[in-house]
Amino acid sequence: MLSQKTIEIIKSTVPVLEVHGTTITTVFYKNLFEAYPELLNIFNHANQKKGRQQHALANTVLAAAKHIDQLETILPVVKQIAQKHRSLAVKPEHYPIVGEYLLAAIKEVLQEAATEEILQAWGDAYGVIAGVFISVEKEMYDQASKQEGGWADFKPFTVVKKVPESDVITSFYLKPANGEGIPAFLPGQYVTVRIGIPGERFLFNRQYSLSDAAGKDYFRISVKKERTESSPDGRVSNYLHDSIQVGDSLDLTAPAGHFSIDLEKGTPVVFLGGGVGITPFMSMVHAVADQTPDRDVQFIHASDNGKVQPFRRELTGLAQKLESYQLAFVFKNPEKEDKQLPNFVKEGYMDKELLSLHVKPDADYYICGPVPFMKAIITCLKELGVEPDNIHYEFFGPAVSL
């Protein structure tokens, strides 16, 4: 329990943090990785380079500071982050290290403004916040390891099949190397893949959505080959595409993530995917087709052209199972033959005019794709009168506010 005085100090430092929050976490990461370079086996180097994680941590620390006397109100956010932490095998023993370097960074940036009293208050508050994370994560580790076919940390999987889905997306079918079964998972969840790349000092971790339904004897992930020249993101996807072959091993954590579909609901469902953002919808749409095939499903996917557009045959085939199903493709730069495809509906963008044809009063909307795509779609849906509660979305990467 924090004293009233500590709570007051924490709350009064929020405005200071609002000004210096990002600088503090930037200093924090720099010092942390200098002292503990091995933590770069856990953190995403590409996110570090782009400063994304700095913002995510700064925002969360601020949110926690604002709600320090009623942390239960930020529990949903904690659970979401804890899913990511659990999928990266973050452990209780990591928290004091992060706490020490966060406090040292506050001191370094604020200098004399960071009095002993303020530092003491932040030390205590961090302890409380970390305690909440640790206990939520413990529950998740217990759940993951107790589940049938489940496990707690990283476990080796063998690539049993590699299937190109388009010019840029390839699926990897993965089975546990020890021959054990696959745990159930929620449609929309992801796994973390950890790999060592020859010549690289640290391991790489990436989250990939599971792109096939649960209940199979394999996991399927579908990876877009990112362009390396414009982004450090491409290091792993290029290695997977070019160097990982059938028979090779990849380490995986158990499925995690909060972005899922309520399969108990019978309301119409509209999937709005942009590019590789289609992947979580593949497990969702298969789950709906298997479990509630009478549910009204509209699946709209936007991509550049037919060559990069994945899963066309698989999605078309779902018409055999789903009783009320509409499939539509939007291409920004279609080739002549793309315009002949039966499900081609529009050249250009997935815009308000197109969406207005798919808005139904009680439908649930699922959105996944690049940030500008998601922002545009969410704005259009709201303008078309869709209730925010019926809009569900996931961004690939550290959580950002849309």
Residues with a catalytic annotation lie at 95, 137
Q: Does 88 bind ligand HEM (CB under 6 A)?
A: yes
Q: Which is nearer to ligand HEM, 130 or 318 (CB)?
A: 130
Residues 248-287, one symbol each (x = binds ligand HEM by CB under 6 A, - = not), give ----------------------------------------
For ligand HEM, the binding residues in 121-180 under the rule CB under 6 A are 129-130, 133
Choose the binding region for ligand HEM from 92-100, 143-151, 279-287, 360-368 (rule: CB under 6 A): 92-100
Choose the binding region for ligand HEM from 87-95, 180-188, 288-296, 342-350 (rule: CB under 6 A): 87-95
| Phi and psi, residue 162, nearest 5° | -130, 120
Shortest Cβ 132–ligand HEM spacing (Å):
8
Map residue 115 onto helix, strand or coil: coil
| Cross-sheet strand order for the sheet of 324-331 | 344-347, 324-331, 296-303, 269-274, 364-368, 391-394
By CB neighbour count within 10 A (0-12 exposed, 13-18 middle, 19+ buried), where does 264 fall?
exposed
Q: Which of 41, 47, 147, 390 binds ligand HEM (CB under 6 A)?
A: 47
Supply the angle between the helices 116-146 and 94-110 in degrees, to the nearest 10: 150
Residue that has been written with the tokens 């390891």 in this structure: 145
> CA-CA distance, 402 to 277, in Å (whole number)?
16
Q: Which is nearer to ligand HEM, 128 or 345 (CB)?
A: 128
> CA-CA distance, 281 to 115, in Å (whole number)?
50
Q: HSE, CB side, 13 Å, CA atoms: give it for residue 121.
A: 20
Binding residues for NADP(+): 275-280
C-alpha separations of 317 from 292, 293, 321 in Å = 16, 13, 8
Choose the binding region for ligand HEM from 51-59, 260-268, 308-316, 323-331 (rule: CB under 6 A): 51-59
> CA-CA distance, 211 to 201, in Å (whole number)?
30
Q: Which is nearer to ligand HEM, 95 or 299 (CB)?
A: 95
Choose the binding region for ligand HEM from 50-58, 156-164, 295-303, 379-387 (rule: CB under 6 A): 50-58
Q: Copy the structure tokens of residue 376.
A: 């545009």
Choose the binding region for ligand HEM from 41-49, 261-269, 336-344, 352-360 (rule: CB under 6 A): 41-49
Residues 17-36, one symbol each (x = binds ligand HEM by CB under 6 A, - = not), give --------------------
Q: HSE, CB side, 13 Å, CA atoms: give it for residue 177.
A: 13
C-alpha separations of 388 from 187, 355, 379 in Å = 21, 16, 10
Q: Does 53 bind ligand HEM (CB under 6 A)?
A: yes
Q: Which is nearer to ligand HEM, 107 or 175 (CB)?
A: 107
Q: Which of 90, 250, 276, 374 binds ligand HEM (CB under 6 A)?
A: 90
Q: Which of 11, 50, 94, 321 binds ligand HEM (CB under 6 A)?
A: 94
Q: Does 65 bind ligand HEM (CB under 6 A)?
A: no
Residue that has been written with the tokens 């593949």 in this structure: 282
Binding residues: 85, 190, 206-209, 275-280, 395-398
Alpha helices for 36-115 (secondary structure H): 45-50, 52-66, 75-87, 94-110
254 within 8 A of 151, measured Cβ to Cβ = yes
Shortest Cβ 151–ligand HEM spacing (Å):
19
Shortest Cβ 91–ligand HEM spacing (Å):
8
256 within 8 A of 180, measured Cβ to Cβ = no
Question: Going by DSSP bridges, is the β-strand pair 364-368/249-252 parallel, antiparallel, or unpaired?
Answer: unpaired
Total residues at the site for ligand HEM (CB under 6 A)? 23
Shortest Cβ 300–ligand HEM spacing (Å):
26
Q: Which of 10, 56, 328, 391 binds ligand HEM (CB under 6 A)?
A: 56
User: Applying CB under 6 A, which residues contact ligand HEM?
Assistant: 39, 42-44, 47, 53, 56-57, 60-61, 81, 84-85, 88, 90, 94-95, 98, 129-130, 133, 398-399
